[in-house]
């Protein structure tokens, strides 16, 4: 009995020491987040040099603390005592161990090469895109393929390299599981898109064109964000060149938006999208066993994206939401055309034709843009695709999946910044997010029978609180998106739910049935 008591105290003390170190890291990461937000939103141009020095100094402190040998020792001890940990503690140790392994496995020389390549490859990508000449970027893409394979081998030599890279963004996901998901989506979407274009009647969206004051758009979007539940006591809403959500803590969430004078819907959907991210951050668990620890972090990029797309698409692009939003738009823009909520809903959901640019794509064509990129980047990593063949393969897949091909590299394989930063494994999270969002929304409708009526009335509290309870406050308790989906909806991610949603919605909008 005495030996067991000593072991229990030892494990308890080790966990206490571990959480102290992890909370200190979380606080430092919060400072880093604030520096980044300030740089993009508030910082004067003349401060670029000093901000770079500040970020570099902080990065050094963070690296030392993330790779601290004492931290590693505590994790080793606690992994050996896993049977003594409760589920929250086990999740803390699991995710902290994963991060420690990834931080310490990459040799210093390789880390330095990666840091230099980030700058060199970005400069080359900007120049290549400007000239629409992939060959100018190709040598740098090859370098990224090589260093990413080396990085993956250093972290986990037994796993497929792409799976190791994917795990940076989508914990627990594998290329085998992605193949299964994306094959089903591609099989369902390609013929649906062809049918909608060939047999459907596109809704009229020409009447949305106009000139919309940027200041008035900002006021409208602020009102929408607040109505959805963004809490300005625990956050800020500003304008930036590229919309993003950041900050330092659930009590300090910084959200930014942007607007175009000639496009009202882009500003609205962008603001709703970022509000979804912000609500996830503000809804995280502040219980003493959770706050400042890895278990309280967003589970993955895909789950975070699911929360932005949940509000942007499942709610914001629905007819009940249009019924609530249209009077608000008319209040801010009295000159807005006098059309019905049904017309507004239809106009917001027109499918792009042709759909060449990922960031401008609609919810039907967008997943095919992602699948194309996934197939190419996975092929680059496993060696089945050569860098020099990327433009040709890109254009062929565009024809096969989306029925069109870009006229040049700038509108094709050079359109995204991701590969210039070596972000292999990032693209899939966008469409995983859309599918997670759809499955969560379908389950929420079962749990909240009055949901659509509440949305039409502008009562978003029941839905937001449901998400707080089932998604936001669960953080990283579960080891993967599939595990979270199973806990929330009863099933792992089901692509057929997403496909059924798209077919039902767009068959009606395009009058196929």
Q: How far apart are CA 405 and CA 412, in angstroms?
A: 8
- 250 and 281 in contact (C-beta within 8 Å)? yes
Residue 274 annotated among the catalytic residues of the structure: yes
Query: What pLDDT does 242 receive?
Result: 84
Task: Produce one character per residue of 240-270: b if its CB has 16 or more CB atoms within 10 Å, e if not.
Answer: eeebbbbbbbbebbbbbbbbeeebbbebbbb
Q: Computed from CA positions of residues 66, 69, 72, 77, in that sequence, does the dihedral angle turn out positive or negative? A: negative
Q: How far apart are CA 82 and CA 89, in angstroms?
A: 9
Query: What pLDDT does 493 receive?
Result: 98
Query: What pLDDT does 6 receive?
Result: 35
- Alpha-carbon distances of 62 from 52, 66, 171, 299, 490, rounded to whole Å: 15, 6, 22, 21, 39
Q: For residue 4, what are its two tokens?
A: 């067991």
Question: pLDDT under 50 in the chain at which residues?
Answer: 1-9
- Alpha-carbon distances of 432 from 11, 85, 139, rounded to whole Å: 38, 31, 30
**Three-state helix/strand/coil letters over 31-81:** HHHHHHHHHHHCCCHHHHHHHHHHHHHHHHHHHHHHCCHHHHHHHHHHHHC
Contact residues for 206 (Cβ-Cβ < 8 A; gap 6+)? none
**Three-state helix/strand/coil letters over 451-482:** HHHHHHCCCCHHHHHHHHHHCHHHCCCCCCHH
- DSSP symbols for 88-145: HHHHHHHHHHHHHHHHHHS-HHHHHHHHHHHHHHHHHHHHHHHHT-GGGTHHHHHHHH
**Closest to 324 in 3D by CA, of 235, 431, 209, 457:** 457
Catalytic entry in 170, 274, 281, 348: 274
Per-residue pLDDT tens over the stretch 376-422: 999 999 999 999 999 999 999 999 999 999 999 999 999 999 999 99
| Chain centre distance of CA 452 | 25
| Chain centre distance of CA 126 | 23
Q: Computed from CA positions of residues 328, 329, 333, 337, in that sequence, does the dihedral angle turn out positive or negative? A: negative
CB-based burial label for 158 (10 Å; 0-12, 13-18, 19+): exposed
Query: What pLDDT does 208 receive?
Result: 97
- DSSP symbols for 216-234: HHHHHHHHHHHHHT--GGG
State pTM to two decimals. Answer: 0.95
- 43 and 245 in contact (C-beta within 8 Å)? no
Three-state DSSP class for 240? coil
Q: How far apart are CA 56 and CA 151, in angstroms?
A: 22
CB atoms within 10 A of CB 484: 27
Say whether the peptide bond before residue 354 is cis (omega within 30 degrees of 0): yes
Q: How far apart are CA 137 and CA 387, in angstroms?
A: 10
Q: What phi and psi, each to the nearest 5 degrees, are found at residue 352?
A: -70, 135
Q: How far apart are CA 223 and CA 217, in angstroms?
A: 10
Q: For residue 100, what are its two tokens?
A: 């420690």
- 31 and 248 in contact (C-beta within 8 Å)? yes
Query: What pLDDT does 9 receive?
Result: 44
Per-residue pLDDT tens over the stretch 143-184: 999 999 999 999 999 999 999 999 999 999 999 999 999 999
Q: What phi and psi, each to the nearest 5 degrees, are found at residue 4?
A: -65, -40
């Amino acid at each position: 009995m005495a030996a067991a008591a000593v072991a229990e105290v030892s494990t308890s003390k080790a966990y206490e020491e571990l959480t102290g170190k992890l909370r200190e890291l979380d606080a430092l990461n919060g400072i880093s987040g604030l520096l980044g937000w300030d740089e993009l939103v508030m910082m004067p141009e003349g401060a670029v040099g000093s901000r770079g020095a500040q970020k570099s100094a902080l990065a050094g402190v963070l690296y030392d603390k993330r790779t601290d040998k004492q931290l590693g020792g505590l994790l080793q001890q606690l992994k050996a005592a896993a049977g003594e940990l409760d589920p929250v503690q086990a999740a803390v140790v699991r995710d902290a161990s994963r991060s420690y392994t990834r931080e310490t496995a990459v040799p210093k020389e390789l880390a330095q090469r990666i840091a230099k390549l980030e700058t060199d490859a970005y400069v080359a990508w900007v120049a290549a895109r400007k000239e629409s000449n992939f060959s100018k970027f190709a040598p740098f893409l090859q370098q990224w393929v090589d260093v990413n394979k080396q990085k993956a081998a250093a972290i986990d030599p037994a796993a497929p390299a792409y799976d190791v890279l994917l795990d940076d963004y989508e914990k627990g996901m594998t290329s085998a599981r992605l193949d299964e998901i994306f094959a089903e989506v591609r099989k369902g979407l390609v013929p649906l898109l062809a049918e909608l274009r060939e047999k459907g009647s596109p809704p009229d969206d020409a009447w949305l064109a106009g000139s919309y004051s940027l200041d008035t758009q900002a006021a409208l979007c602020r009102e929408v964000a607040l109505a959805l539940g963004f809490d300005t006591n625990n956050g800020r809403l500003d304008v930036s060149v590229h919309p993003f959500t950041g900050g330092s803590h659930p009590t300090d969430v910084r959200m930014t938006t942007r607007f175009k004078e000639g496009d009202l819907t882009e500003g609205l959907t962008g603001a709703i999208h970022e509000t979804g991210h912000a609500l996830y951050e503000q809804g995280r668990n502040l219980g003493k066993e959770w706050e400042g620890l890895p278990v309280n972090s967003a589970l993955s990029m895909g789950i975070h994206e699911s929360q932005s797309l949940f509000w942007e698409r499942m709610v914001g692009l629905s007819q009940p939401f249009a019924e609530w939003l249209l009077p608000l738009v008319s209040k801010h823009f009295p000159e807005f055309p006098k059309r019905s909520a049904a017309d507004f809903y239809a106009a917001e959901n027109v499918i792009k034709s042709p759909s060449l640019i990922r960031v401008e794509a609609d919810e039907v064509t967008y997943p095919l843009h992602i699948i194309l990129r996934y197939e190419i980047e996975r092929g680059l990593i496993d060696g089945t695709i050569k860098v020099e063949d990327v433009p040709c393969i890109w254009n062929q897949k565009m024809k096969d999946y989306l029925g069109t091909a870009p006229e040049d590299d700038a509108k094709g394989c050079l359109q995204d910044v991701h590969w210039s930063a070596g972000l292999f494994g990032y693209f899939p999270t966008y469409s995983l997010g859309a599918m997670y969002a759809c499955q969560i929304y379908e389950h929420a409708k079962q749990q909240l029978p009055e949901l659509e009526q509440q949305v039409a009335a502008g009562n978003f509290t029941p839905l937001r609180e449901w998400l707080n309870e089932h998604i936001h406050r669960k953080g990283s308790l579960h080891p993967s998106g599939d595990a979270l989906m199973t806990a929330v909806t009863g099933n792992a991610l089901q692509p057929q739910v997403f496909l059924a949603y798209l077919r039902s919605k767009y068959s009606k909008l395009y009058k196929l049935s």
